[in-house]
Structure 1
Amino acid sequence: MKITVTAEKPSDDKLAAKVSVPADDVDAAIAQAYKDIAHKYNFQGFRRGHAPRPVIDGIMGRESVLAQATNEMLNQVEPLLLEELDVTPVGRVNFGEDPDLAVQGTDYVVDATVGVRPACELESYDAPQINMPPDEATEAEVDWQINQLLSYQVSYEDLEEDRAVVEGDLVSVDIEDVEGAGHLAGTNRMLQLDGNQVPAELQAGIVGMKKGETKEITWTHEHEHEGETHSHTFTVKVTLNSIKKAVTPELDDEVAKKFGFDTVDAFRDAVKEEVEGDKKTSLPNLKEDRVVEAVGKLLKLETVPEDYQNEIFNELATEFLNQLQRQNMSLDMYLGARGVKADDFIADLHVQAEERARQSLALDAVAAKLGLEATDEDIAKEFERSGVEDVAASVNEWRGEGRLPAIRDSIRRTKALDWLVENAKVNVVDEVAERAAAADAPEGPAPAEAPEASDE
């Protein structure tokens, strides 16, 4: 099928186009509809597939046949239209609620509306300025990595101070199930009261307890299921055995030996080598991430269109669920293991979707400003990298399905990102050392507010 397309400039994130299908293709679509109906249904007196058109018209109704032909023809038109316009649609192409029916021997003309991403501008098209860690491992980075390794050697000792439990403490408790809380029961359970490990009501009940004290704690949990609210009551008896403190060993030759090294110096050298090896692969990706994040903040767009943001949200959700499936884990298992509420998870995913949408639109803007294009050679290389056996066949298949515009979008964005990364101004910063200094800095008075700038 060949089509002729006349398109207007996009307006309000919609692209209007007039599509014309030649009469020969219209006739072929109608003939195919008659053929399909003749094979699908039994018509008395005729072998399946051999009923003539007048018989089919008399039983099915000619308008029904033309409606089927029109619908099938529009299904074929949609990918051709997207390829012709080289546009990745937001949602489905809309041919109107009640498009005209195809007419034998006549060109078919229909108006189409395609949802598109907004064409945006940036506050600046200069490559951004970003901070990056140095290529070589710093002393602070080595120290941080060693501290992470030493954390596996941590021991827990009773706090000698006789005081009540406060939020943030690590405690040892015996929990006896009284009602509905068998999953929490246990002896000498170590609990970190950081708001994540146990229900908030249980943590609140433990706060204020003293060593040797026993206390009964009750709370109710409500949740929605199939539109109904269900309540569950839990009661436990808690005995506080002790408040614990974590003791990290000092690094010396004896500790270094536990990691397979004779001396501290040998241990530090090995850690430094590991950090620098990791940087060779992680820093290029980090640079890309920071450049994309920076350019996304330059987007001159107040609100991302809801349809586009929802499309990105669905992509993120699908990616995440597929990742969980590869790990043989359900979403409920994931949320339960991390103590995350479903509503909070969805809200966070929406935030990520808006951020990714802004970054994608920003890269589109850079590509348009630089006049970057995706050539046939670029497309072929993209398919080669994916490992397909027959590149030409795969390209034709994607073209026939109207999916090549998405590949071109990806290529243009990649080219834009490559340009931004190559031209970004980089400040080398020992970020680990800065974070350590900030953590060790004593809290002082808040800085005075700067006076507001005058309009005069």
Structure 2
Amino acid sequence: MKSAVETLTPTRAKLTVEVPFEELKPSLDAAYQAIAQQINVPGFRRGKVPPMVIDRQVGRGAVLDQAINEALPQMYIEALRENDLEPLAQPEVEVTKIEDNELLEFTAEVDVKPQFDLPDYEGVAASVEDLEVSDDDVEEQLQALRERFGTLLDVERAAADGDFVTIDLVALQDGEPVEGAEISGTSYQVGRGGMIDGLDEALVGMGVDEEKTFASQLVGGGLVGEDVEVKVKVTGVQEQELPEVDDEFAQMASEFDTVEELKDDVRGRLTNGKRLEQAAAARDAVLETLLDQVSIPLPETLVTDELNGRRQNIEQQLMMSGITMEKYLEDEGQTQDEFEAELERRVRDAVAAQFVLDAIAKKEELGVDQSELSQHLVRRAQQSGQDPQEFANHMFEHNHIPDLVQEILRGKALAQIVESATVTDASGAVVDLKNLQPDGTLADPAEASEAAEAEATADGGEPAEQD
């Protein structure tokens, strides 16, 4: 078999493959055997019909078609391997020449991974914002804790911002109730938002058994975005009484004896969370710095597919949250064009990052062992809310395991880049990423070193088996 490659664009190639007929013989023999099992010819047992009889009865063309269809996929893969091409999608294949008993020729056009010069990724320098936990951050957490232990008291006055009201609500269009847009006996905190536009403004000043009608738009169902009249009736008003933040509250709401101990714990947990956020920002900053050093031609079909997928995912999330795209853009202070431009920028960066991390993983000869794959399957299942075993079965059945392996390899490549990077905060201090633990705490460097050494020497010091 001979193959040649023509570069159509930096991300698309055309393979031309010539196959001598002797290399098609195994596929031809298999085609004759298969057809012999399917036809009845007087004087011959099923499966024992000679090739020359099949040629007369069925036609040599049908045999060739079946043999070529069986052989093409493997020949295409061999041609990719010979020319060191990594495909990104299914090819467009065309048989361009069949000279019976002489030659088969076919072409395959396919999107391929682009070639680019990998920049130096050792010791990348990047910066992130300072890690700050303010007194206001602590007070906000304490306020949320107070609300958890607050009590609701019935009051005989009009509803005010922050009160809890019990309401009946119905949406009307042309004077008729909208199906599925009616609730009763629902508790709602005035000012919380998120239910329907105009509700909070209508509820302020309403007393028990009072009704009010206001104009709004539906945010869910088949009439999403439609103008409706909303009738709301208040059947109860309750005021929330919050406990004082003192030692007694600390003992009731936590395992601590004093409010100062509680505040210290809150500040510590906030610090751990901020540290994890800073680490995520550091990874993004390091990768962004690396991407700025390389120019990668991107396959437009891949970018378009990713754009469509992300756009659809955003629309589904908004629909599940009961928010229209128009409302989302208004809240974000974006126009539709600005939203699309930002989405495309993020998609292009993400696709380019995949190519860079794939190249680093290949250069560093990174591998994935079975335990890493199993742990990744469990995490992905948990993220999607599925049973781990069912998720794993689905991934294997639909041949998604190579994609998951690639995800792991990219994560390893990024971790290796970040580990060698120098990341500083806005104040110039070096951000400690090496000793960061999954809960946001920092391990003692000596203890971390001992733990790493113990792990490395486990099982007789043998390294984990790599695929």
Give the TM interval when normalised to the shorter protein: 0.5 to 0.7
CA distance in 1, matches of 2:347, 2:136: 32
Summarize the Cα distance change of 1:308–1:102 in structure 2 as closer, same or farther, 3 Å threshold. Answer: farther
CA distance in 2, matches of 1:402, 1:187: 47
CA distance in 2, matches of 1:409, 1:102: 44
Aligned match of 1:450 = none
1:361 to 352, 357, 362: 352
Summarize the Cα distance change of 1:196–1:412 in structure 2 as closer, same or farther, 3 Å threshold. Answer: closer
Summarize the Cα distance change of 1:36–1:230 in structure 2 as closer, same or farther, 3 Å threshold. Answer: farther
Summarize the Cα distance change of 1:306–1:138 in structure 2 as closer, same or farther, 3 Å threshold. Answer: same
How far apart are 1:270 and its partner, in Å? 3.4
Secondary structure at 1:80's aligned position in 2? Answer: helix
Residue 288 (1) aligns with residue 283 (2): yes
How far apart are 1:271 and its partner, in Å? 3.4
Secondary structure at 1:18's aligned position in 2? Answer: strand
CA distance in 2, matches of 1:288, 1:188: 44
Summarize the Cα distance change of 1:210–1:148 in structure 2 as closer, same or farther, 3 Å threshold. Answer: closer
Q: Deviations over 1:156-211 (max 9, x none)?
A: 78999989x8xx9767353254724565322363155566312x4x6398378754
CA distance in 2, matches of 1:76, 1:426: 51
2:165 to 172, 175, 179: 172
Summarize the Cα distance change of 1:52–1:99 in structure 2 as closer, same or farther, 3 Å threshold. Answer: same
Secondary structure at 1:95's aligned position in 2? Answer: strand
1:238 to 205, 227, 232: 232
Amino acid at match of 1:115: D
Summarize the Cα distance change of 1:351–1:156 in structure 2 as closer, same or farther, 3 Å threshold. Answer: farther
Amino acid at match of 2:425: N
CA distance in 2, matches of 1:121, 1:66: 44
Amino acid at match of 2:424: V
CA distance in 1, matches of 2:407, 2:14: 20
How far apart are 1:70 and its partner, in Å? 1.3
1:214 to 188, 211, 216: 211
Summarize the Cα distance change of 1:187–1:230 in structure 2 as closer, same or farther, 3 Å threshold. Answer: closer
Secondary structure at 2:363's aligned position in 1? Answer: coil
Summarize the Cα distance change of 1:239–1:143 in structure 2 as closer, same or farther, 3 Å threshold. Answer: closer
CA distance in 2, matches of 1:343, 1:140: 32
Aligned match of 1:110 = 106
CA distance in 2, matches of 1:418, 1:287: 13
Equivalent positions of 1:29-68 (< 5 A) are 29-68=27-66
How far apart are 1:76 and its partner, in Å? 1.8
Aligned match of 2:363 = 373
How far apart are 1:90 and its partner, in Å? 2.8
**Identity of aligned pairs, percent?**
19
How far apart are 1:87 and its partner, in Å? 4.0
1:26 to 20, 24, 27: 24
Amino acid at match of 1:361: A
Contact kept? 1:79, 1:403, Cα under 8 Å? no
Aligned match of 2:199 = 203
Structure 2: stretches of 5+ with no match in the other structure? 171-175, 329-335, 376-395, 429-467
Contact kept? 2:282, 2:423, Cα under 8 Å? no
Secondary structure at 2:194's aligned position in 1? Answer: coil
Summarize the Cα distance change of 1:306–1:236 in structure 2 as closer, same or farther, 3 Å threshold. Answer: same
What is the TM-score normalised by the length of structure 1? 0.63
1:100 to 97, 111, 136: 97
How far apart are 1:253 and its partner, in Å? 0.9
Q: CA RMSD in A?
A: 5.3
Residue 385 (1) aligns with residue 352 (2): no
What is the TM-score normalised by the length of structure 2? 0.61
Contact kept? 2:357, 2:410, Cα under 8 Å? no
Contact kept? 1:102, 1:108, Cα under 8 Å? yes
Contact kept? 1:29, 1:73, Cα under 8 Å? yes
CA distance in 1, matches of 2:427, 2:363: 35
CA distance in 2, matches of 1:110, 1:343: 50
| Aligned length in residues | 389
Secondary structure at 1:113's aligned position in 2? Answer: strand
Amino acid at match of 1:268: K
Amino acid at match of 1:364: F
Q: Deviations over 1:233-277 (max 9, x none)?
A: 976532356888877655221221122321112223433554566
Residue 270 (1) aligns with residue 260 (2): no
Q: Deviations over 1:397-446 (max 9, x none)?
A: x9xx999799679747843662255224321579xxxxxxxxxxxxxxxx
Summarize the Cα distance change of 1:205–1:33 in structure 2 as closer, same or farther, 3 Å threshold. Answer: farther
Contact kept? 1:78, 1:93, Cα under 8 Å? no
Q: Deviations over 1:5-53 (max 9, x none)?
A: 4334462521223334454321111221222222234444433222222
Contact kept? 2:217, 2:224, Cα under 8 Å? no
CA distance in 1, matches of 2:231, 2:361: 69
How far apart are 1:115 and its partner, in Å? 0.6
CA distance in 2, matches of 1:222, 1:409: 36
Amino acid at match of 1:153: F
Summarize the Cα distance change of 1:221–1:161 in structure 2 as closer, same or farther, 3 Å threshold. Answer: closer
CA distance in 2, matches of 1:298, 1:192: 51
Amino acid at match of 1:19: V
Aligned match of 1:419 = 417
Q: Deviations over 1:335-356 (max 9, x none)?
A: 66521459999x9899767624
Contact kept? 2:119, 2:294, Cα under 8 Å? yes
Aligned match of 2:321 = 338
Aligned match of 1:252 = 246
Summarize the Cα distance change of 1:383–1:153 in structure 2 as closer, same or farther, 3 Å threshold. Answer: same
Aligned match of 2:331 = none
Summarize the Cα distance change of 1:211–1:19 in structure 2 as closer, same or farther, 3 Å threshold. Answer: same
Aligned match of 2:149 = 153
How far apart are 1:216 and its partner, in Å? 3.9
